[in-house]
Chain A
Amino acid sequence: MPGALREKLSAAVGPANVLTGIELSPYVVEGRTPDAAVFPGSIDEVAAVVGLAANEGVPVTPWGGGAAASVGMPAARAGLVLGLRRMSRLLEHEPADLTATVEAGMTMGAFQAALGGRGQWMSLDPADADRATVGGVLATNAFGPRRHLYGAARDLLIGVTVVTADGAVVRGGGKVVKNVAGYDLPKLFVGSYGTLGVIVEATVKLRPLPDHEQLQAVRFERLKDTGVAVKAIMGSDLIPSAIELLDAAAASSAGLAADTPAGGAVLVVGFDGPREQVAWQCAELARILVPLGGQQTRTLEAEAWSRLAAAPGTARPATAAVMTFSVVPSLVAETMDRGAGIARARGLHSAWAAHAGVGAVRAVLASDAAPHEPAAIATVLGEWREMARAGGGHATLAWAPLAVKSRIPVWDDPGAAGRIMQRIKSQLDPGNILNPGRFIAGI
């Protein structure tokens, strides 16, 4: 990095907020070290940093808590990490309006704690809440079990402030819960992985905290049977807040049911609301599931929610890859069952978990061999992806060593829509400085 740029950055954000050299170790991704990490303290400073980088053609990687830093291809060129940790204030919370405006660098955990103090929450529960920031969660479209009832980031974000690649500060949406004025920019930025702009502030819809919440875990002898069970729940009068499906490996590592037989599964269903409604639903759930093979229904402690959000992320110590799938809900159990079979056939272990009602499946692949054989890993991942595509879904390689990523694309082929995405990218970031090469379709 030219020394002149470093000086300008120091001038823009203060020398203490520009890290270089050994201090950069937390920001090394896939062995690649950025030129500098810069921590602006205001929107104007973010704009200044991006503007400087744009002038120099230096890539910028927006960085919240680093929870998803290894998703996607690492930047082709070294550049700046733009950290948002100094921008972590809750700016506005008007309970009677059920909205809040927050700086992007606030962690989800801190945000929820502040809202919870006034009886409300942002109904999004991704893993790693103490590390993941609001901006990061939005940019990566992260979610958790309660997406089933409450939707994803796209359903909650009503206003967004971003710094675009030319250093302009742009606001999209607004502070009201319903708004169709102009294009829906919040949708554009949710899940865009920092390739179109740096999210610096967000206004989100809130909900009142439920009076009561309960998680019911039901064991099944065979994973295959759970497809019918999930369908029965979804077709019933129940209004679950979450429908989680874990195979035996994932259930055991999440500490939910160590005794689940191989080939079996645990279905975890969450309910919230007034106590009498939760009680009625738990009873109704048992009534529905027992004839379908559900066994040993038990109530989980509240702490299990966060383990469900992370499952099966820690299923095996020797994780070789993590893949996420989006499939139609009716294919979730089959995807898990067949996917595990594909891995077994190649002599690899896998563990599977899903937010079953929304068709979001996650799998970890592991091998006993050390070091892993990247070719074999990539082969299984390729077959998994084909399986998802055949059912009208798609798969993303959420994490893998570079040796694997170089053999199988991180992102699936978006087809003709990819050209539109490329056009959007070139309109909004013509110099290609925001997370270049990290995202889909070469973006």
Chain B
Amino acid sequence: MSLTKSLAADGSSFTIQIKGKFDFNLVQDFRAAYADVGDNTPKVIIDLRETEYMDSSALGMLLNMQKNLGSKVSGIRIANCRPQIKKILQISRFDKKFEID
């Protein structure tokens, strides 16, 4: 399984961790993962610490998620990016729409 999700014990944050490749093959899993954010308007953390590759459809999936979740969450943070992944996010100007760490 290259995608895991976990809701913090206090419900304040919801983490989706993606291992290896973040591409079109994850469309279904990714959409299903953020359907479970719960009712506490948590902060969503997309943890990319183990993401080696992503393609442009991953960027589209992130935007879709943001549209979809809207006010159901208190924010979305893309966390723990490796330098090359961060470069891709910066080129795509994702730092304007997401908190990137």
Genuine A/B complex? no
The interface of chain A, by Cβ under 8 A from chain B, is: none
The interface of chain B, by Cβ under 8 A from chain A, is: none
